[in-house]
Structure 1
Amino acid sequence: MTTWSAKAYSDGTLHLAGEIDYSVAPQVRRYLHDYAGSSANTLLLNLQQVEYIDSTGLAILLELRRILLSQERSISIVKASEGVARLFTLTQVAALFGMEKKTGDQEGTNAS
């Protein structure tokens, strides 16, 4: 069974962990929509502990981005695991989430 978790921090960043795929998509979508509805302005996501994300998980984030943009808000991924960063780069959506190509221990596509 696929497991995932989410934890909001006082700095306004939402940390997701585990695996985000089709089997948990309804729960992840509901959680992110509820969280976004209760937060203000930019939604900051830390995906550094996400071990795996499939196209369904990516679609959830793109859908959430579209909704936030319609509300004149935004979503930004401040850190991502190597696998997540690779998926976002390969699918050419990294820039949509503010994941500029960086090296080393910097934010955005941090692989540590």
Structure 2
Amino acid sequence: MAASFDLDVLRGFVAGIELGSYTRAADQLGRSTSALSTQLRRLEASAGAVLLRKDGRGLALTQAGQVLFDYAKRLLALNDEAMSAVHDMCAEGVVRVGIHA
């Protein structure tokens, strides 16, 4: 069976890059900074590559990190689209409520 990336971990990875801070990403996602940091270490282990490097006081994407970031955004967008499509299908139809007194 092929290995796969955890979408929640990818969501944290993308949020950290887009927000410019993993502290802000952790706050937005309702996780602790240490939990997000642990997830990012697991993501690097799964990818088999270093994804982030120190850049002054912040972090920057490595070449592998940029590749994964681009794929992660596409995977998350497709996941969100699929979830929306399924939920929209479930929400279709007529609901009738009757009350007898």
Report the TM-score when normalising by structure 2. 0.27
Question: If each structure's helix is expressed as a fraction of its own residues, which one has the higher value?
Answer: 2
Larger Rg: 2
